């Protein structure tokens, strides 16, 4: 039985994640007190298969009751036949504050900290730290639109139940912020930049012309070979450790050319080795007019 605990920072998109999980067939309960988790899991286990995919949202809204969440999670891990995973959603402080201002909703700790949102966020991060470290799936939503977050959740759970690791290979632009959700971040700004080639500026690494240009240099081909060698060594170790999700990010200046080229090539290489791979390009649609100058 699949049992997903959805948690993370207030304002990071947990409600959206729960909506998606419900849409793809999970039985969902939002804001369940931690003390009820084991009892609810027992009910599901004796439902004759009617509740074999369950998602529960547990977070700081539980107030003082939330303090027991880590112990309850460990108790769930001891139940035979229960596949317990933690989905942790994160966002940076500035984004969380902006989202609360836009929605005009109160933070769950607003009363406790007398409307001091920064203090509330800091306290919440401290309380959630053990769950963040134990998370099986980690999604950083600061740069996601609602549709992108929905796509991300679907990609994680709209698969046949399996213990195999999902590898997400993504591109990003450093000018828009480093990808904080990534386990491995590789900076390819050291390679020749197609931006300075007029005919390639408005194209992306998804175009063969850009890819051919980037990979026409010896240092690009050598770097790709070294990246493949490193991943061939690391990925079996991650799988052996039981890691459910590995996020590999390639970054260049704008996230249009070099990073996309390497994301495409590395993702295709890993897929050719029989691994479960997803690819995404975080910043591919940003500032299109700038690249047409």
Q: Are 258 and 193 in contact (CB under 8 A)?
A: yes
Last residue of a domain, one of 126, 157, 188: 157
- Same domain membership, residue 288 and residue 198: yes
* DSSP code for 105: P
Last residue of a domain, one of 157, 189, 207: 157
pLDDT at residue 12 in the model? 93
- Same domain membership, residue 142 and residue 170: no
pLDDT of residue 198 exceeding 60, the answer is yes
pLDDT at residue 161 in the model? 37
- Same domain membership, residue 200 and residue 73: no
The mean pLDDT value for 103-125 works out to 83
Last residue of a domain, one of 112, 135, 157: 157
- Same domain membership, residue 146 and residue 189: no
Report how far residue 37's alpha carbon sits from residue 24's, in angstroms, rounded to the nearest whole number.
Answer: 22
Structure tokens at 154: 């679907």
- Same domain membership, residue 274 and residue 192: yes
Report how far residue 164's alpha carbon sits from residue 236's, in angstroms, rounded to the nearest whole number.
Answer: 11
pLDDT of residue 165 exceeding 80, the answer is no
Domain of 58 in residue numbering reads as 2-157
- Same domain membership, residue 244 and residue 183: yes
Nearest to 90 by CA among 60, 117, 128, 116: 128
Report how far residue 197's alpha carbon sits from residue 25's, in angstroms, rounded to the nearest whole number.
Answer: 48
Structure tokens at 6: 């959805």
- Same domain membership, residue 171 and residue 152: no
pLDDT tens, 23-68?
Answer: 888 999 999 999 999 999 999 988 888 898 999 999 998 888 888 8
pLDDT of residue 188 exceeding 50, the answer is yes
Number of Cβ within 10 Å of residue 62's Cβ equals: 17
- Same domain membership, residue 283 and residue 172: yes
Compare 111 and 273 and report the one with higher pLDDT. 273
- Same domain membership, residue 121 and residue 42: yes
- Same domain membership, residue 148 and residue 112: yes
- Same domain membership, residue 150 and residue 45: yes
Number of domains in the chain: 2
pLDDT at residue 163 in the model? 41
> Rg of the Cα trace of the chain?
21
| CATH number where 70 lies | 3.40.50.300
Q: Are 89 and 14 in contact (CB under 8 A)?
A: yes
Q: Please, what is the average pLDDT of the chain?
A: 90
Q: Specify the range with the lowest mean pLDDT, choosing from 60-69, 107-116, 167-176, 224-233.
A: 107-116
DSSP states along 68-98: GHHHHHHHHHTSTT-EEEEEEEE--HHHHHH
Percent of the chain residues past pLDDT 70, beyond the cut: 95
pLDDT at residue 82 in the model? 92
pLDDT of residue 203 exceeding 90, the answer is yes
- 179: pLDDT confidence band, cut at 50, 70 and 90? confident
pLDDT at residue 293 in the model? 57
The mean pLDDT value for 196-214 works out to 95
Number of Cβ within 10 Å of residue 75's Cβ equals: 15
Report how far residue 164's alpha carbon sits from residue 142's, in angstroms, rounded to the nearest whole number.
Answer: 27
- Same domain membership, residue 75 and residue 43: yes
pLDDT of residue 292 exceeding 90, the answer is no
pLDDT tens, 219-275?
Answer: 999 999 999 999 999 998 888 776 778 999 999 999 999 999 999 999 999 999 989
Can you give the three-state secondary structure of 191-215, one letter per residue?
A: CCCHHHCHHHHCCCCCCHHHHHHHC
Q: Are 101 and 163 in contact (CB under 8 A)?
A: no
Compute CA distances 133 → 8, 34, 109, 258, whole Å: 11, 18, 22, 32
């Amino acid at each position: 039985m699949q049992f997903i605990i959805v948690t993370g920072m207030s304002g990071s998109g947990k409600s959206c994640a729960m909506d998606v999980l419900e849409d793809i067939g999970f039985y969902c309960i939002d804001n369940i007190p931690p003390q009820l988790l084991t009892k609810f899991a027992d009910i599901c286990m004796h439902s004759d298969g009617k509740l074999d995919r369950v998602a529960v949202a547990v977070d700081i809204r539980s107030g003082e009751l939330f303090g027991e969440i880590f112990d309850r999670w460990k108790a769930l891990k001891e139940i035979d036949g229960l596949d317990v995973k933690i989905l942790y959603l994160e966002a940076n402080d500035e984004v969380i504050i902006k989202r609360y201002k836009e929605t005009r909703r109160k933070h769950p700790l607003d009363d406790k900290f007398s409307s001091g949102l920064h203090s509330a966020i800091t306290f919440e991060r401290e309380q959630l730290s053990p769950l963040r470290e134990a998370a099986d799936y980690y999604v950083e939503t600061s740069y996601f639109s609602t549709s992108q977050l929905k796509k991300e959740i679907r990609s994680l759970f709209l698969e046949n139940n399996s213990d195999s690791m999902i590898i997400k290979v993504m591109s990003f632009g450093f000018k828009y912020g480093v990808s904080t959700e990534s386990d491995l971040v590789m900076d390819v700004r050291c390679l020749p930049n197609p931006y300075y080639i007029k005919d390639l500026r408005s194209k992306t690494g998804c175009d063969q012309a850009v890819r051919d240009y980037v990979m026409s240099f010896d240092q690009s081909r050598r770097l790709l070979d070294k990246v493949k060698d490193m991943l061939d060594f690391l990925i079996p170790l991650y799988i052996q450790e039981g890691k459910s999700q590995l996020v590999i990010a390639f970054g260049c200046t704008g996230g249009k050319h070099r990073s996309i080229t390497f994301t495409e090539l590395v993702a295709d290489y890993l897929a050719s080795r029989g691994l479960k791979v997803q690819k995404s390009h975080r910043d591919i649609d940003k500032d299109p007019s700038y690249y047409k100058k």
